[in-house]
Structure 1
Amino acid sequence: MIKAAIHVIRLLREQGHEALLAGGCVRDFLLGKEPKDYDVATSATPQQVIALFPGALTVGAHFGVVIVKHNHHQIEVATFRTDGSYKDGRRPESVTFATTEEDAQRRDFTVNGLFRDPIGDRIIDYVGGQADLNRRLLRAIGDPHQRFAEDRLRLLRAIRFATVLDFEIEPATWKAVCDHAEAINTVSAERIRDELIKIFLHPQRLRGFDLLVESGLMQQVLPEILILQGVEQPPQWHPEGDVFIHTRLMLSLLPQQVSLPLVLSVLLHDIAKPATFTVDETGRIRFNGHDKLGAEMTGDILRRLKFPNDVIEPTQVAVENHMAFKDVKKMRNSTLKRMMARPTWEDELALHRVDCLGSNGLLDNYEFMKAKAEEFSQAPLIPPTLINGRDLIELGWQPGKQLGIVLTAVQNAQLEGLINTREEALEWVQNHHKNSQP
């Protein structure tokens, strides 16, 4: 992609325009990382860019942004600009095309305010970004209160950059984040969601979690997490402490690469414990039904944050079934196979593993299920059915609820290895359900 960006820069310069790489790609280059994309900043107006690159996308032309296509790559080309007032805390009311230095001053953080000339191999730095990169420091450009008032999503972006870059947040910038945390509620749920995804999918997710809590942003975007603080648990099963400590510990135990439903199920698996907290007659703490209620709450929370159904549903499944693991050694093979055949199974097992490690440390049920997976690996977990409803109707059964019950019982017998052929299945029905036949 860098070749495509350089091609764009060369063509702009051939027409007499200034053109430089800008923003995150410069930061990542200086950190020795491969940038995910390359943005170009230029003195050319959007109209001049469009004229030079036929087929360019003009979705952001009002703000001086044009998407240029070259060799199947998309390069964002933005005109140097200054921004007018931000009445909605999201977008400027107007933009004015400006100089390179003025453009740098409108950006969010110093490490994102750098320019690079890839042809002359030089860095242009008007904001002290290189020094902050060397210090591993995230600092707002200019007045941090003004930067966050302009675009309140920058509050979460500060947490995200501190997380993924493993940078400290400069004290004045941090104070401004904390002071303005409540303003994140004016940002759309979709934009908040996207920043949370980037934070929690990153291997340093625990640091992001802590910064969200300490800044006050967690209280605004996921207040249910803070309600977990101080909710006691049975010490014999949870020597680590309350539900909040348990959840935080589980986050720290996840592998670096995780699916989004897995990390969300870790965050939310015990979300209903405060609502189901009771103490029985023996003095033991209980959370009866927290798995089922937790699945409902998980759906409500994720819908509030505009997560898509293909994330919400597997997360709910994992939350709803996380307590089933305590009984796996008592389950029949047919039940185990049905569990393991769920598309969410790998994430469910991973959730159980960190649930154990983040509490009593006992992995016997986890190891049992791993052994069962090996035992069952020689054949499909759910093989093709041996008989169907038509077969039963031919035996004189009538369509209805009882038909489904019998077919499920036949499949259970098949999963248990008691029957293996169609003939055996029909005989099994005659022997075991002859009194149930209508």
Structure 2
Amino acid sequence: MWQLGLRIVERLQKAGYIAYFAGGCVRDRLLGHQSHDIDIATTATPEEVQRLFPQATGLHGKVFGVVRVPFGEWSFEVATFRRDVGSRDGRHPDHVVFVPPAEDAYRRDFTINALFYDPISDQVIDYVGGQRDLAEKTIRAVGDPNQRFAEDKLRLLRAVRFAANLGFRIEPGTWNALRIQAATIHQVSVERIREELDRIWSGPAPARGLDLLDQSDLLLHILPEVSALHGVEQPKEFHPEGDVFLHTRLLLEQLHSAPLPLAWAALLHDIGKPLTKRVDRNGRIRFFEHEVVGARMAHAILSRLRQPNQLIEAVVAMVVNHMAFKDAKQMRPSTLKRLLARSTFSMELELHRIDCLASHGDLSIYEFLRTKLEELPASDISPPRLVTGHDFIALGVAPGPLLGSLLETIREAQLNGQIQTREEALAFASRLVATPPATPHRTNNPRKPL
């Protein structure tokens, strides 16, 4: 990708234009990190870029001086050096004016993102002190931080993300402006807010991200349910670490670039505790069915953020099931196998581990489940079904709740080792049809909205 980007810069420079790599790719190169994309800034206008690169696409961005130049599987954003004018929506400029490179640097968000790099001469062009701030691990707004945040409210979350993921501090003036404008974050679309949160929670330091969101009041405005975990006391015999917020933070502290569903589940696993907290006559604190209430809340929160259904279902399953692990050693073989066979089990097991480490520290159930997972082959945990609904229909059972109940009874017997062959299953099925079990009361499916 780097070599392809260099070819674009080389062609622009040979045509007489100034052209540099710009922004995040320069920052990442100086930090020794890998970049996932390369942006290019140039004095060429969008029309001039298109003449040099007829394959240029995304020309709807021409009004902001931006086109995309595809090269095979890669695509490069090529932008004319510009200055933004106005921002009535708090997110996008009203229009742009083409300017020299130095003026373009001064309209960018943070100094570490306002660097240019000439790959032909191998020279960094720094108009704003970005190299100094990289060396000092500092997030600093370019120019007036109040103005930078007013131009684009998404920068409030970007400052937190960069500070958390890079391990940088936020310069005091930038931090003060961020806190003052935190309540305006709702001017940003929920999709962009979600993207920034996802990058924080699945990044290398989600606990640091939580701290900054909390201390800046962004958390209160974006995820008030998480902010409400502050001050919710827990029974000290199980949670010597402190209140629910601190417990949640300790879970995140153990996650580093974790799968996104696991990160969200860690954040939301105890979200139902404030609503379910009860103190009995002996002064004992209880949170009855907080996992059920929490699953409903997690579904509402993630839906509000317009997360994909697959992620919502995985997180809700982990939240509603996280208390089941405490009974693992007493489970019947069939129940244990159903636990091990869940599609989210590997993440649920990790959630259980960090949940224990963030509280009482007892990992005996975690070790028990790991041992069972190693001992039991996949064919034992989730073996092929021995009978189908067609088999019961052939025995005279009509489609409906009774048929479903009979199939579950057969499956339970199979997982418990009572039957092992199709012949045994069919014989068992015949006996069941003769004396069918009562249709069990159906509970909510934990993978669906509760």
For the aligned pair, the TM-score class normalised by the smaller chain equals over 0.9
Give the distance between the partners of 2:387 and 2:35, measured in 1 at CA.
Answer: 56
1:301 deviates by: 0.6
Which AA in structure 2 matches 1:424? E
Change (3 A) 1:195 1:437: closer
Give the distance between the partners of 1:250 and 1:21, measured in 2 at CA.
Answer: 39
Change (3 A) 1:378 1:404: closer
Partner of 2:362: 362
C-alpha contact (below 8 Å) 2:406/2:432 kept by paired residues: no
What is the SS of the residue equivalent to 1:162? Answer: helix
1:128 deviates by: 1.1
**Which string of whole-angstrom CA distances, capped at 9 and with x for unpartnered residues, describes residues 216-253 of structure 1?**
11111111111111111111111111111111111112
**Which string of whole-angstrom CA distances, capped at 9 and with x for unpartnered residues, describes residues 188-226 of structure 1?**
111111111111111111111111111111111111111
Counterpart check, 1:20 vs 2:20? yes
1:432 deviates by: 5.7
Partner of 1:47: 47
Which AA in structure 1 matches 2:31? L
Which AA in structure 2 matches 1:412? E
Partner of 1:325: 325
1:7-86 equivalences under 5 Å are 7-57=7-57, 58-86=59-87
What is the SS of the residue equivalent to 1:60? Answer: helix
Give the distance between the partners of 1:123 and 1:437, measured in 2 at CA.
Answer: 76
Identity of aligned residues (%): 52
C-alpha contact (below 8 Å) 1:268/1:319 kept by paired residues: yes
Which AA in structure 2 matches 1:56? A
What is the SS of the residue equivalent to 1:196? Answer: helix
Give the distance between the partners of 2:65 and 2:210, measured in 1 at CA.
Answer: 35
Change (3 A) 1:87 1:390: closer
Change (3 A) 1:433 1:239: farther
Which AA in structure 1 matches 2:333? N
1:409 deviates by: 0.9
Deviates more, 1:50-59 or 1:426-435: 426-435
Give the distance between the partners of 1:391 and 1:104, measured in 2 at CA.
Answer: 72
1:395 deviates by: 3.2
1:26-425 equivalences under 5 Å are 26-57=26-57, 58-254=59-255, 256-377=256-377, 379-425=379-425
C-alpha contact (below 8 Å) 2:406/2:437 kept by paired residues: no
1:280 deviates by: 2.0
Give the unaligned 5+ runs of structure 2.
439-450
**Which string of whole-angstrom CA distances, capped at 9 and with x for unpartnered residues, describes residues 325-378 of structure 1?**
111122111111112212111111111111111111111211121122122225
Deviates more, 1:366-375 or 1:149-158: 366-375
C-alpha contact (below 8 Å) 2:262/2:347 kept by paired residues: yes
Give the distance between the partners of 1:401 and 1:208, measured in 2 at CA.
Answer: 48
Give the distance between the partners of 1:436 and 1:230, measured in 2 at CA.
Answer: 52
1:410 deviates by: 1.0
Give the distance between the partners of 1:86 and 1:378, measured in 2 at CA.
Answer: 57
C-alpha contact (below 8 Å) 1:4/1:71 kept by paired residues: no
TM-score (ref. length: structure 2): 0.94
Change (3 A) 1:49 1:235: same
1:430 deviates by: 4.2
What is the SS of the residue equivalent to 1:379? Answer: helix
Give the distance between the partners of 2:2 and 2:367, measured in 1 at CA.
Answer: 47
Which AA in structure 2 matches 1:26? V
**Which string of whole-angstrom CA distances, capped at 9 and with x for unpartnered residues, describes residues 298-329 of structure 1?**
01111111111111110000001111111112
What is the SS of the residue equivalent to 2:411? Answer: helix
Which AA in structure 2 matches 1:77? V
Which AA in structure 1 matches 2:317? V
**Which string of whole-angstrom CA distances, capped at 9 and with x for unpartnered residues, describes residues 76-130 of structure 1?**
1000011101111101101001101110110011111111111111111111111
Change (3 A) 1:375 1:432: farther
Change (3 A) 1:428 1:280: same
Which AA in structure 2 matches 1:204? A
Query: How many pairs were matched up?
Result: 437
**Which string of whole-angstrom CA distances, capped at 9 and with x for unpartnered residues, describes residues 123-150 of structure 1?**
1111111111111111111100000000
What is the SS of the residue equivalent to 1:17? Answer: coil
Give the distance between the partners of 1:383 and 1:199, measured in 2 at CA.
Answer: 39
1:276 deviates by: 0.5
Give the distance between the partners of 1:36 and 1:389, measured in 2 at CA.
Answer: 50
C-alpha contact (below 8 Å) 1:397/1:437 kept by paired residues: no
C-alpha contact (below 8 Å) 2:198/2:260 kept by paired residues: yes
What is the SS of the residue equivalent to 2:83? Answer: strand
Give the distance between the partners of 2:52 and 2:380, measured in 1 at CA.
Answer: 58
Which AA in structure 1 matches 2:286? R
C-alpha contact (below 8 Å) 1:115/1:125 kept by paired residues: yes
